[in-house]
Amino acid sequence: MRIAVASGKGGAGKTSVTASLASIWDTPLIVADADVEAPNLHLFLHPQIEEERYCGLDVPRLEITRCTQCGLCRDICTYKAIAAFAGRISIFPDMCHGCGGCFAVCSAGALERTQRELGILQRGTVLEGRVRFLMGRTRIGEAMTPPLLRQEHLFLQEMQAVLPADILLDAPPGVSCPAMTAARDVDVILLVADPTPFGFHDFRLAHQAFLPMHKDVRVVINRAGAADNAAGDAAVRAYCREHGLPLLAELPFERVAAEQYALGGLLVHLSEQWQQRFEALRDALRQPNVGATVAQRPQEAHHA
Amino acid sequence: MPDFIRKIAVSSEGPSLDDAVDPRFGRAGGFVVVDMTDMSVDYIDNGASQTMAMGAGIETAERMARAGVQAVLSGYVGPKAFAALEAAGVRVCQNVDGGSVRDAVERFCRGELPFADAPNR
């Protein structure tokens, strides 16, 4: 099964949950960091990197001597990567999403393919070689992450072809293109809910954003039981009940958990009790979600 | 004022010389276009670019080129918009923030708004 660990708000606990789950996964697993703008899973899992791949996106370059100034490439570009000033074509490669439309409509052969560097993908192993690992890192200055995420997805498929395994994806935060792109190809979205007012607000946003994908969405509350926040915990539980979201686990708010995180340690190693919590979460993830909407192929996200 | 300037556009919150300058270029509400030869005033709505997810600056630059202006007066012009205006041969006077469109045009005429050679955002 393929699981994306997602959240609306950043800092909800996606990486902590992903890293601890990976360490107690007892069947073949690939764990991947899809937060390619700010990857941090490697800080907890310390991968042995075995392969590094450069990723680029095909973008157009104008061969001006062949351009007939017909303007078709400019008209087809939804992203304003091609502009025309008094008929003269100008290309802004940073804006290009790599759809290839301009190449298809240029009959004069005035557009050549060149590459914009997106970032890198790094493959390796973690947890004494028991778990395979993949992470992406966006080039500094690159504004778009979905093209790199799509290449990360292809790399994951390649790794699965070598040896089938479950996939655990540390998804990007937020509810925009990166989060949607990462969640498109999974079976289960595990939403980590932070029961603070901000966290609850963004958790609801995330649930609503993922809703049109018709995915099997499940929830884990992180930092439950904080002093004076019973109402926050109750709000998340009530929302889950109301929307039929299975609440798989509640991870308690404890000072030792924050200390463990700050030291780069895994929550699952804190105590027997913490280990049991993650084992229960793992087992609950493997149970079919009887109330879940039947998964459908998601539609192409806008601007992705 | 250099003599190659015949028309200028000022990013504006409304259609007249008395409206406030909109400090944004790509996402400006509109542009007051002033014909410097007879000081006649025209208005270009920029609402379509305001709602774009990306590429507002480039589209607005195209709009400026079509309007036939030689210079744009605005608050903040981003790097892509700046490159687009450069490609279009439109000069940029930036950091025009606060005050009315009329104030901006008068400052331009007095030579108080230099042409920028790099974006300020």
Shortest distance, CA A103 to any CA of chain B (angstroms): 20
Low-confidence ranges of chain B (pLDDT < 70): none
* Domain spans of chain B, in order of start: 7-109
Q: Do B53 and A302 touch (CB under 8 A)?
A: yes
pLDDT value of residue B3: 77
Structure confidence by residue, pLDDT tens digits, A198-242: 999 999 999 999 999 999 999 999 999 999 999 999 999 999 999
Shortest distance, CA A72 to any CA of chain B (angstroms): 15
Which residues from A are below 8 Å from B53, CB to CB? 302-303
Q: Which residue from A minimizes the CA distance to B53?
A: A303
At position A258, the amino acid (one-letter code) is A
Which residues from B are below 8 Å from A79, CB to CB? 54-55
With a cut of 60, say whether residue A108 has pLDDT above it.
yes
pLDDT value of residue B13: 95
pLDDT value of residue A266: 98
3-state secondary structure chain A: CEEEEECCCCCCCHHHHHHHHHHHCCCCEEEEECCCCCCCHHHHHCCEEEEEEEEEEEEEEECCCCCCCCCHHHHHCCCCCEEEECCEEEECHHHCCCCCHHHHHCCCCCEEEEEEEEEEEEEEEECCCCEEEEEEEECCCCCCCHHHHHHHHHHHHHHHHHCCCEEEEECCCCCCHHHHHHHCCCCEEEEEECCCHHHHHHHHHHHHHHHHHCCEEEEEEEEECCCCCHHHHHHHHHHHHHCCCCEEEEEECCHHHHHHHHCCCCHHHCCHHHHHHHHHHHHHHHCCCCCCCCCCCCCCCCCC
Shortest distance, CA B59 to any CA of chain A (angstroms): 7
A2-55+119-303 belongs to CATH 3.40.50.1010: no
Residue B1: strand, helix, or coil: coil
Q: Do B55 and A302 touch (CB under 8 A)?
A: no
Picking from A75, A85, A88 by the largest number of B CB atoms within 10 A of its own CB, the best residue to mutate is A85
pLDDT (average), residues A156-176: 97
At position A84, the amino acid (one-letter code) is A
* Domain spans of chain A, in order of start: 2-55+119-303, 58-117
Picking from B49, B50, B59, B62 by the largest number of A CB atoms within 10 A of its own CB, the best residue to mutate is B62
Domain B7-109: assigned CATH number: 3.30.420.130
Please indicate if any CB of chain A lies within 8 Å of the CB of B51. no
Reported CATH class of domain A58-117: alpha beta
Q: Which residue from A minimizes the CA distance to B85?
A: A85
Structure confidence by residue, pLDDT tens digits, A174-192: 999 999 999 999 999 999 9
How far is Cα of residue B90 from the mean position of the Cα atoms in its chain?
9
Which pTM does this prediction carry?
0.84
pLDDT value of residue B51: 86
B71-73 vs B7-12, strand pairing mode: parallel
Please indicate if any CB of chain A lies within 8 Å of the CB of B62. yes
Please indicate if any CB of chain B lies within 8 Å of the CB of A262. no
Picking from B51, B54, B66 by the largest number of A CB atoms within 10 A of its own CB, the best residue to mutate is B54
With a cut of 50, say whether residue A248 has pLDDT above it.
yes
pLDDT (average), residues A108-136: 97
With a cut of 90, say whether residue A295 has pLDDT above it.
no
Please indicate if any CB of chain A lies within 8 Å of the CB of B5. no
* Tokens, residue A299: 């539609």
Please indicate if any CB of chain B lies within 8 Å of the CB of A90. yes
Please indicate if any CB of chain A lies within 8 Å of the CB of B87. yes
Q: Which residue did the predictor score with more confidence, A279 or B51?
A: A279
Shortest distance, CA A15 to any CA of chain B (angstroms): 29
The number of helices, as runs of H, and strands, as runs of E, in chain B is: 4, 5
pLDDT (average), residues A13-21: 98
CA distance A13 to A189: 14
Please indicate if any CB of chain B lies within 8 Å of the CB of A88. yes
With a cut of 60, say whether residue A299 has pLDDT above it.
no
Q: Do A88 and B87 touch (CB under 8 A)?
A: yes
Please indicate if any CB of chain B lies within 8 Å of the CB of A69. no
Shortest distance, CA B80 to any CA of chain A (angstroms): 8
Please indicate if any CB of chain B lies within 8 Å of the CB of A83. yes
pLDDT (average), residues A292-304: 46
Res. A293 pLDDT band, cuts 50 70 90: very low
Query: Could you give the percent of chain A with pLDDT greater than 70?
Result: 95
Q: Do A95 and B89 touch (CB under 8 A)?
A: no
Res. A298 pLDDT band, cuts 50 70 90: very low
Structure confidence by residue, pLDDT tens digits, A44-93: 999 999 999 999 999 999 999 999 999 999 999 999 999 998 889 999 99
**Contact present, A15 and A40 (Cβ < 8 Å):** yes
